[in-house]
Amino acid sequence: MRVGFIGLGIMGSAMAMNLYKRGFLYAVYNRTRSKAAPFESLNVKVAENPKELAELSDVVITMVTDGPDTEQVLFGKNGVSESAKKGLTVIDMGTNSPAFARSFAERLEKLGMDFLDAPVTGGDVGARQGTLTIMVGGKKEVFERVRPVFEAMGKLIVYAGPVGYGQRMKLVNQVAVALSDIAMVEAMMMAEKLGLDMEKVYQVLSTGGARSFSIENYMPRLLKGDLEPGFRISHLRKDLWYALEEAKSEGVPLPATSMAFELFLSSENLGYGEKGIQALIKLYERISGVELK
């Protein structure tokens, strides 16, 4: 299978590189062409637009920021759909709403193309190491056909159900991610105020009942003053909005998630939207008057 990859950001570039190492990657496209330079040096075709990439590929993967961005790549001028390539499999691996996924699938099916929604979790570390968890929605037979492509990028591949269920699974995951990040930040701020040795706090939190991905991966970054993104605050805020909308449509109250959305939105408004989700601590420093040393 010749795979074309669209979206070479923090996650996408690492995922595409793992596809290259496994012999799948044939072409790439990124709006900012300079990000494709590492692949061009490996003799991977750099397409001029998504349409050209689709014409060169059997499978097209999109990994862009949001639903409207994905829609533009698929259905805009020189988009994937303009290739009119019957039998093409389109896989959206960004995090969007289930409603977007169902719309994309319906529109592509009319053109003779298959669609899977397959968002991922595991952060920049998982993307680089090829150990992502991938949650897939769509037709089971299409999923099985392209499973080797997923296995080149992830360690745990979960078939979640029909179209939209990959996104539903991811939104559930993001609720847990957001709340665990808040728990980590609040614990750190309390420990700082109480005068505890933060390295010892980390030892306790990373091995005991409080252990979480956030503590194991983001707390060490905070202890070094590293706010750079493995996963951006603006992206998590967007995901939480989708989660709240989906929960509302099903009548599921999510009071803590509503609070989390407001906290990450406030952090974004303070100018930390492009920083990693661990930068939430800057909001807490401001409202508490305590600075992490």
Instruction: Mark whether 140 is an active-site residue.
Output: no
Note whether residue 37 is domain-resident. Answer: yes
**What is the distance between the alpha carbons of residues 126 and 68, in angstroms, rounded to a whole number?**
26
Angle subtended by helix axes 233-249 and 165-193, to nearest 10: 120
Q: CATH no. for residue 112?
A: 3.40.50.720
Q: CATH no. for residue 195?
A: 1.10.1040.10
| Cα–Cα nearest to 62, from 111, 117, 107, 143 | 117
What tens digit of pLDDT does each residue of 231-245 get?
999 999 999 999 999
Determine what percent of the chain is predicted with pLDDT higher than 90: 97
Q: What phi, psi does 274 have (nearest 5°)? A: -90, 0
Total domains in the fold of the chain = 2
What tens digit of pLDDT does each residue of 42-79 get?
999 999 999 999 999 999 999 998 999 999 999 999 99
Q: What is the pTM of this model?
A: 0.93
What tens digit of pLDDT does each residue of 64-119 get?
989 999 999 999 999 999 998 899 999 999 999 999 999 999 999 999 999 999 99
Residue 172 structural domain: 168-288
Of 141, 163, 185, the last residue of a domain is 163
Residues 6+ apart with CB under 8 A from 282: 227, 267, 270, 272
Q: Are residues 104 and 220 in the same domain?
A: no
Note whether residue 293 is domain-resident. Answer: no
Structure tokens that stand for 240 in this block: 């939480």
Q: Are residues 14 and 153 in the same domain?
A: yes
Of 163, 187, 209, the last residue of a domain is 163
Of 163, 187, 211, the last residue of a domain is 163
Which position among 45, 170, 275, 282 bears the catalytic label? 170
